[in-house]
Amino acid sequence: MKAATKMTYRDAMRMAMHEALKADKRVFLMGEDVGRYGGSYAVSKGFLAEFGADRVRDAPLSELAFVGAGIGAAVNGMRPIVEIMTVNFSLLAMDQIVNTAATLRHMTGGQCSVPLVIRMATGAGRQLGAQHSHSLEVWYAHIPGIKVLAPATVADARGMLAPALRDPDPVIIFEHAQLYNLEDELGDDSTAWQCDIQTAAVRRTGSDLSLITYGGSLPKALSAAALLAQDGIQAEVIDLRVLRPLDKNTLIASVQKTHRAIIVDEGWKTCSLSAELMAIIMENAFYELDAPIVRVCTKEVPIPYAKHLEDAALPQIEDIVQAAKQMMRKN
């Protein structure tokens, strides 16, 4: 068996892109500061020197324009990876993503596909203020014609890009900015990190309640589960990984086993992914529940800049622990 290598989430994503660029000349990277600067999060550092300006393209400050260019390249046989600096800025390209990329296969009766991968950072916790810190993944998970991924582990950061590039439809990969420095050991054997882009993952097994989450909230949920175990509460942690299409089978199987569910979502409660998950559980496992479903979400405010206010606005480990203990006390 090959030895495992310790690496960061950033390095894993970098390796995945490097492998894709080496393996397929149709793959190219485009976005703001991806070339000479090496990427806003240093994921593409060194790529410009190795692959050249034709395949690592610094784009002008216009998300609408360079996402549109990526769509055009995809339609014409290329395999573009388009990087948007943060999900907040992706709203400037919403027309291209929602009205063009997501609809062309349907509108052409299957004659035209858009094999486009869009990567973008999401999430808060770095004191960057409201315009750089929101979690808007659910906006895109709402749209038919798009696959939405949220790798939360080093292995998934390494393994999700390849199947995303093979997909004939647009795929959006949300990388929580708090995860880039996350470290873990990853085996050199590809079986250690290869994954599909269809299923959720059980990150910790348990019998008392299900903690359902994704992205940057996964480490918090796992830490909360470890603390709860010290008090005899065994929490199962479900990492959704894929936000569209949602893996309902894994979700429902967990709830049927534990009979309780807490959803941890860095988005706001109103019209949220957590609300959709609640609806799925209620429609498919209502009679399995021994307690009302609980949501731990971001407060309904723009993300503050001041650290103490930012921390207060976001779901924290202690919030999850408190919600779980209260749920168990009531039952």
pLDDT of 159: 95
| Residue 183 backbone dihedrals phi, psi, to 5 degrees | -115, 145
Whether 308 is a known active-site residue: answer no
Burial of 328 (C-beta count, 10 Å sphere; 0-12/13-18/19+): middle
- Which pairing describes strands 201-204 and 235-239: parallel, antiparallel, or unpaired? antiparallel
Q: Among candidates 215, 230, 249, which has minimal Cα distance to 321?
A: 230
Query: What are residue 238's DSSP bridge partners?
Result: 202, 212
Give just the sign of the alpha carbon dihedral 9, 67, 128, 239: negative
Yes or no: say if 192 and 12 are a contact pair by the CB < 8 Å rule. Answer: no
pLDDT per position as a tens digit, 177-228:
999 999 998 887 777 788 889 999 999 999 999 999 999 999 999 999 999 9
Please, what is the average pLDDT of the chain?
Answer: 95
Q: Hey, what amino acid is at 16?
A: A
Q: Helix, strand or coil for residue 253?
A: helix
In the numeric block, which tokens belong to residue 132? Answer: 């750089």
pLDDT per position as a tens digit, 142-177:
999 999 999 999 999 999 999 999 999 999 999 999
Query: What domains appear along the chain, each with residue ranges and CATH number?
Result: 4-192 (3.40.50.970), 201-329 (3.40.50.920)
Yes or no: say if 170 and 97 are a contact pair by the CB < 8 Å rule. Answer: yes
Read off the pTM: 0.96
Averaged pLDDT for residues 94-101: 97
Query: How many other CB atoms are there within 10 angstroms of residue 1's CB atom?
Result: 7
Q: Hey, what amino acid is at 160?
A: M
Residue 1, pLDDT above cutoff 60? no
Question: Exactly one of 32, 63, 236, 266 is catalytic; which is it?
Answer: 63
Yes or no: say if 191 and 53 are a contact pair by the CB < 8 Å rule. Answer: no
Residue 322, pLDDT above cutoff 80? yes
Question: Exactly one of 32, 50, 83, 132 is catalytic; which is it?
Answer: 132
pLDDT of 125: 92
In the numeric block, which tokens belong to residue 165? Answer: 């590039």
pLDDT per position as a tens digit, 31-67:
999 999 999 999 999 999 999 999 999 999 999 999 9
| Residue 169 backbone dihedrals phi, psi, to 5 degrees | -110, 165
At residue 2 the predicted structure's pLDDT band, cuts being 50, 70 and 90, is low
Q: Among candidates 244, 125, 227, 106, which has minimal Cα distance to 182?
A: 125
What proportion of the chain, given as a percentage, has pLDDT over 90? 94
In the numeric block, which tokens belong to residue 210? Answer: 């299900």
pLDDT of 187: 80
pLDDT of 212: 98
Taking CA atoms, 6 is separated from 10, 11, 70, 99, 145, in Å, by: 12, 10, 33, 41, 36
Yes or no: say if 94 and 102 are a contact pair by the CB < 8 Å rule. Answer: no
pLDDT of 204: 98
| Residue 187 backbone dihedrals phi, psi, to 5 degrees | -65, 150
Whether 106 is a known active-site residue: answer no
Calculate helix-pair angle for 317-329, 218-230, nearest 10 degrees: 50
Residue 3, pLDDT above cutoff 70? no
| Residue 263 backbone dihedrals phi, psi, to 5 degrees | -105, 125
In the numeric block, which tokens belong to residue 9? Answer: 């989430």
Averaged pLDDT for residues 307-322: 97
- Which pairing describes strands 183-187 and 4-8: parallel, antiparallel, or unpaired? antiparallel
